[in-house]
Amino acid sequence: FEKFLSDEDGHVRALAATGLASMHEVRAVPVIKGLLSDPYEDVQEAAVAALSALREGVEVREFMDRLKDKNPTLRRNAALLLGSIEADESVGALGFALKDEDVTVRQAVVRALSALKSEEAVKHLIFALTDEDPHIRASAALSLGSVGGQKAREPLGLLLGDADDTVRVSAVRALGMAGGEDAVARLIALLADHNGFVVATAMESLGMLGGAEAKEALIGMLGSDDREIRRTAVISLSVFAGVEEKVLPLLRDPDWAVRAAAVEALGKLAREAASNEIEKLFDEEEDPAVRKAIEEFLDVR
């Protein structure tokens, strides 16, 4: 297997690294490390995964030092590996690497810090919210949504006003994951945002958070002129009790995707109560996607 690590075919090199890891050949660690600077990214990824599986043969200090290597590819893969093996002692070095000049390295560092999940890692992820690159800010926001806890809520709230729409979408989704007392109010305020993707994501997050305020706000979006907003509202409401009467009229919506979403939502909300209306719709419906949703509803019933 070791000789295949230098094969001219990148797929073979990647498979060789994976094979050595599955054989638990710790002796192969020194040669697998050479693939971390391979020309092909999929081979590098295979090397990171293999080294992670062979954790006992990996010296954490060595890869902390590689965060300062001249080669940005090695810096990036060192960060990914440190996160993959959950090397808690590397948090400080990873935090310093958030200042790296190469954006791909900083992206890898954010991923690593997210995997570590410690209080110190969260502090560094909050710092990453100020990165000049919007992709880094977005990635850090999503990471904080899952691991940041209470400390992440205020920084995420500030990011809701970011100039980049993608960042704001990530912040909205992260706030839905993180929750908090004022999260619902902040998300409701975004239902009037100029960007439809931000609005849709806010609705999805409100569905995750639940509560009477979120429910009423989502019901209010059922009358939107935007078909995608109506569809998202229906889907988001499918986790709330007592909304079937509000969703039933959407079975006659002019857009097929909204009608299909209404059928699926009513299947979760009030199967028996909605069955007569959905059976009537089946006789009239011409769209194949909606008919399929109706057939699935009736089959389960």
Q: 3-class DSSP state for residue 191?
A: helix
Q: Is 234 exposed, middle or buried (0-12, 13-18, 19+ CB in 10 A)?
A: buried
pTM summary value = 0.84
Residue type, 54: L
pLDDT tens-digit series, residues 199-247: 999 999 999 999 999 999 999 999 999 999 999 999 999 999 889 899 9
- Contact (Cβ atoms closer than 8 angstroms) between residue 159 and residue 171: yes
Chain segment 142-181, per-residue pLDDT in tens: 999 888 777 888 899 889 999 999 999 999 999 998 887 7
